[in-house]
Amino acid sequence: MTLARAAMLDFTVQLAKKAGNYLKENFGKDLTLEYKGRIDLVTKIDRGSQDLIVAEIEQSFPDHSIVAEEGVSREKGREYTWFIDPLDGTVNYVHRIPFFCVSLALYRNMEPFIGVCYNPLSGDVFCAQRGSGAFRNGERIAVSSSSRLVDSLVVTGFPYSLAVLDDSIARFTRILREVQGIRRLGSAALDLCFVASGSFDGFWEVSLKPWDMAAGVVILLEAGGRITGLCGEKFDLNHGNILASNGKIHDDLRGLM
Ligand code: IPD
Ligand code: CA
Ligand code: CA
């Protein structure tokens, strides 16, 4: 099935809301935890949210490819690919911190097309479609105008793997000496949305997965932001390292990576 552009965005928003409301209904309840790594958690709620999303996409778009965090991968060609994070911010969710989202992205020929992030506890819907601007709850959003690191509030995350921890800490220290402040909120998808809406001026993280970034990338690009690899190289969703900003502080931040 092919829908008109606006209908595709609406489908994605409705789906993110449905999955997000499922997360909300289960927030604060007892969860059975499983570990994908030493500190990398997954719950039955991550899986429930993903099942709901994948079932609906499969029903509506059987010819689309799917890349989803909790072990679903369906290869149906390159034209349309969904990147699904059914719960971005699992550690927050488990600790009952109300900062997490459903992150859904649709890429067309592997280029950003649609991105939606929904935080069901704040009610915030961030969404964008390539070429049509970025929105938060229906209001157009844009990146900040900060041009000096000393005025900039930036955000980051730390990888689950300890292998790159020393580099991450050294980078954090270098940046902390130059900026107004650094936050670590626990959802890469929402971090990107908050750069897109001008609350943060920049974001970086290493070793992310495509589903952590895919939706936020569409939203930030449509809000006028810039996205590269850590050293300014062309951004690659599969590479895992991201430097994202309002554009104006990008080169200065890059110099500290
Ligand atoms: C995580 C969050 C976190 C980031 C981690 C991600 P998950 O995703 O986005 O902010 O620092 O690297 O893996 O595991 O909650 O979906
Ligand atoms: Ca994630
Ligand atoms: Ca997740």
- The reply to whether 164 and 117 lie within a common domain is no
Show which of 95, 121, 139 is a domain's final residue.
139
Cβ(157) – ligand 1 distance below 6 Å: yes
Pair (131, 196) in one structural domain: no
Give yes or no: residues 83 and 135 share one domain: yes
- Report whether residue 57 contacts ligand 1, using a CB cutoff of 6 Å: no
Position 113 in a domain? yes
Looking from the CA of residue 209, the nearest atom of ligand 1 is 13
Residues spanned by the domain of 195 = 149-254
Is 59 within a domain? yes
Q: Name the closest-CA residue to atom 2, ligand 1.
A: 187
70 in any annotated domain: yes
Of 97, 118, 139, the residue at which a domain comes to its end is: 139
Largest CA distance in the chain: 52
Residues 68 and 186 in one domain: no
**3 alpha carbon – ligand 1 mean position (Å):** 31
> Cβ-count burial of 171 within 10 angstroms (0-12 exposed, 13-18 middle, 19+ buried)?
middle
What's the CATH code of the domain at 188? Answer: 3.40.190.80
Give me the pLDDT at residue 22, please. Answer: 97
Same domain, 72 and 130: yes
The CA 228 to ligand 3 mean position distance, Å, reads 22
The pLDDT assigned to 132 comes to: 96
The CA distance from 174 to 167, in Å, is 11
| Nearest atom, ligand 1, residue 87 CA | 16
Q: Which ligand ends up closest to the CA of 155?
A: 1
Asked whether residue 44 falls in the same domain as residue 77, the answer is yes
DSSP state letters, the chain = ----HHHHHHHHHHHHHHHHHHHHHHTTS---EEESSSS-EEEHHHHHHHHHHHHHHHHH-TTSEEEETTTEEE---SSEEEEEEEEE-HHHHHTT-S--EEEEEEEETTEEEEEEEEETTTTEEEEEETTS-EEETTEE-------SGGG-EEEE---S-GGGHHHHHHHHHHHHTTSSEEE--S-HHHHHHHHHTTS-SEEEESS--HHHHHHHHHHHHHTT-EEE-TTSPBP-TTT--EEEE-STTHHHHHTT-
- Of 139, 173, 201, the residue at which a domain comes to its end is 139
Number of domains forming the structure of the chain: 2
Whether residues 28 and 134 share a domain: the answer is: yes
Q: Could you tell me if residue 127 is inside a domain?
A: yes
Q: What is the pLDDT along the chain (257 residues), one digit of tens a residue?
A: 567 777 999 999 999 999 999 999 999 887 777 777 776 667 899 999 999 999 999 999 999 999 999 887 788 878 999 999 999 999 999 999 999 999 999 999 999 999 999 999 999 999 999 999 999 999 999 999 999 999 999 999 988 777 888 899 999 999 999 999 999 999 999 999 999 999 999 999 999 999 999 999 999 999 999 999 999 999 999 999 999 999 999 999 999 99
The domain that contains 112 carries what CATH number?
3.30.540.10
Domain shared by 221 and 104, yes or no: no
Ligand 1 atom at minimal distance to the Cα of residue 40: 14
Q: Which atom of ligand 1 is nearest to the CA of 93?
A: 15
Same domain, yes or no: 86 and 157: no
243 and 174, same structural domain? yes
| Whole-number Å distance between alpha carbons of 115 and 227 | 15
Predicted model pTM = 0.95
pLDDT of amino acid 134: 98
- Residues 128 and 43 reside in one and the same domain: yes
At 249 the pLDDT is: 98
| 144 occurs within a structural domain | no
Centre of ligand 3 from the C-alpha of residue 85, in Å: 5
Question: Residue 163: its pLDDT value, please?
Answer: 80
Residues 257 and 253: their CA atoms lie apart, in Å, by: 7
Same domain, 109 and 56: yes
